[in-house]
């Protein structure tokens, strides 16, 4: 499907036929995804439908024109475009449509389980009623599980650049009994890192953790390893969104490996936002070499011209993986997920059964 950042043939690529086989293997491989944004998952089909509903928006309705619109000069430009798509989500019906259709696109890629990062502040601050918002995502979650078999869970994230009022509001929405949605499992922090120090969010993470949520902030995407340390020590992160710059700090890598703190690696995203120059310079190899639990994710797939299957193909090329290696990556995501033990065992068994059947002559 995607071609803007499609995996290029590298020096370690197998022959064309073998590479095609690996793509077919990936397409059928049962997968879990831990780092993917709600609004950032809106495909051209979904964006076009929302833009047609709201014709005063500057977002193109033509799916072809969206490829250009989704080409970014830097991280700040990406956030501007991202917020213009946020502006298309204006009522609970838009929220439900987006959520259900994103699950449909996931199911087509054999995604069995996804933790979707939602920024509720962006919707409630634009006037969507908070209860109607929660009902819309929960209704879509249940319908998607029944109709597509994809299990969704939520991570509510603070949009860091929007300030402490947004942190306060996100924490309230995530921890208030009767409001907090059943599918909510974790608490995050997104947006730009430059000029948005992580420690200021400590009280909000403390409150969310006390309410039983897991801490999964973005860190080290656009700033250095000290931001990852801040996420660990101040926000008590249990997984790190991106963590790209951790590769610059061997002590940090050793700590992540020892504590089994997973990195949510999103290779194509890092190129699209210019956090990393080229795929060949991506530090994923250093993470694996250091023994860090690496998971593969798509972040904002249509905006970055990718999807989860393409990210697995990128990982296969960068790490020189065969089918067993890809299955191990898929199992890493299950292990690092906040699915219950029975759910983890079910998807892991499905990955094993699929892989042995594929490899049996
Ligand atoms: N790769 C990424 N890395 C980091 N974040 C990413 C990535 N992809 C998507 N996001 C999302 O972008 C949001 C940012 C939104 C934001 O900063 C903002 C600022 C001012 C006002 C408002 C508003 O809504 O009024 C919002 C984050 O919360 C996060 O969920
Ligand atoms: Zn992200």
**Residue burial 332-354, b: 16+ Cβ < 10 Å; e: rest:** bbbebbbbeeebbebbbebbeeb
What does the alpha-carbon distance between residue 123 and residue 131 come to, in Å, rounded to a whole number? 11
From the CA of 18, how far away is ligand 1's center (Å)?
39
Q: For residue 273, report the phi and psi dihedrals to the nearest 5 degrees.
A: -90, 0
Show the CA angle centred on residue 264, arms to residues 261 and 267, nearest 5°.
Answer: 140
Cβ contact 325:312 at 8 Å: no
Whole-model pTM: value is 0.95
Name the closest-CA residue to atom 24, ligand 1.
122
Sign of the alpha-carbon dihedral angle for 305, 310, 314, 315: positive
Angle at alpha carbon of residue 154, lines to 153 and 157, rounded to 5°: 160
Ligand 1 pocket at CB < 6 A = 37, 40, 79, 82-83, 86, 117, 119, 122, 125, 157, 159, 161-162, 190-191, 218, 221, 269, 273, 299-300
Q: Show which residues are catalytic.
A: 221
- Pull the structure tokens for residue 27: 């397409």
Q: Rounded distance, CA 253 to CA 350, Å?
A: 31
pLDDT, one tens digit for every residue, the chain (361 residues):
444 544 444 434 445 677 779 999 999 999 999 999 999 999 988 999 999 999 999 899 888 888 888 889 999 999 999 999 999 999 999 999 999 999 999 999 999 999 999 999 999 999 999 999 999 999 999 999 999 999 999 999 999 999 999 999 999 999 999 999 999 999 999 999 999 999 999 999 999 999 999 999 999 999 999 999 999 999 999 999 999 999 999 999 999 999 999 999 999 999 999 999 999 999 999 999 999 999 999 999 999 999 999 999 999 999 999 999 999 999 999 999 999 999 999 999 999 999 999 999 8
**Ligand 1 atom 25: residue of nearest CA:** 122
Using CA positions, which residue lies closest to atom 23 of ligand 1?
122
Contact 264, 295 (CB under 8 A): yes
Mutate to test the pocket of ligand 1, among 38, 39, 77, 79 (most ligand atoms within 8 A of CB): 79
Q: What is the pLDDT of residue 329?
A: 98
Q: Could you give the ipTM of this predicted complex?
A: 0.97
The region, left, alpha or beta by phi > 0 then psi within -120 to 50, assigned to residue 117 is: beta
For residue 245, report the distance from its CA to the centre of ligand 1, in Å: 19
39 CB contacts (<8 Å, ≥6 apart)?
Answer: 82, 85, 86, 89, 98, 119, 122, 300
Ligand 1, atom 17, lies closest to the CA of 191
Q: What per-residue confidence (pLDDT) applies to 143?
A: 98
Q: Is the dihedral of CA 348, 354, 357, 360 positive or negative?
A: negative
Per-residue confidence (pLDDT) for residue 19, from 0 to 100:
73
pLDDT value, residue 152: 98
Q: What is the strand order of the sheet 239-242 is part of?
A: 218-219, 239-242, 262-265, 294-296
Confidence at residue 209, expressed as pLDDT on a 0 to 100 scale: 99
């Amino acid at each position: 499907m995607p071609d803007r950042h499609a995996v290029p043939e590298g020096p370690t690529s197998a022959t064309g036929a073998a590479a095609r086989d690996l793509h077919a293997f990936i397409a059928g491989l049962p997968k879990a995804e831990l780092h993917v944004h709600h609004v950032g998952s809106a495909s051209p089909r979904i964006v076009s439908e929302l833009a047609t509903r709201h014709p005063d928006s500057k977002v193109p309705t033509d799916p072809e024109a969206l490829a250009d619109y989704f080409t970014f000069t830097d991280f700040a430009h990406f956030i501007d475009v991202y917020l213009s798509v946020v502006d298309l989500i204006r009522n609970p019906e838009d929220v439900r449509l987006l959520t259900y259709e994103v699950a449909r696109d996931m199911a087509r890629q054999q995604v069995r389980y996804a933790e979707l990062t939602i920024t509720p502040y962006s919707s409630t601050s634009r006037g969507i009623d908070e209860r109607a918002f929660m009902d819309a995502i929960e209704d879509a979650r249940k319908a998607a599980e029944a109709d597509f078999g994809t299990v969704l869970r939520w991570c509510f994230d603070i949009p860091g650049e929007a300030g402490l009022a947004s942190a306060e509001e996100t924490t309230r929405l995530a921890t208030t009994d009767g409001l907090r949605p059943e599918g909510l499992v974790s608490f995050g922090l997104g947006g730009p890192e430059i000029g948005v120090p992580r420690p200021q969010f400590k009280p909000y993470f403390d409150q969310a953790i006390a309410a039983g949520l897991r801490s999964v902030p973005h860190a080290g995407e656009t700033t250095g390893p000290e931001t990852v340390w801040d996420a660990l020590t101040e926000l008590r992160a249990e997984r790190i969104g991106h963590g790209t710059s951790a590769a610059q700090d061997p002590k940090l890598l050793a700590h992540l490996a020892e504590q089994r703190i997973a990195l949510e690696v999103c290779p194509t995203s890092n190129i699209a936002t210019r956090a990393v120059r080229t795929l060949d310079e991506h530090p994923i190899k250093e993470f694996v070499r250091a023994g860090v639990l690496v998971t593969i994710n798509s972040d904002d797939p249509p905006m970055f011209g990718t999807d989860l299957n393409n990210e697995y193909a990128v990982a296969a090329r960068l790490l020189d993986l065969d089918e067993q290696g890809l299955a191990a990556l898929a199992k890493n995501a299950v292990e690092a997920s906040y699915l219950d033990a029975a759910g983890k065992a079910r998807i892991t068994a499905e990955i094993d059964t699929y892989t042995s059947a594929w490899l049996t002559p």
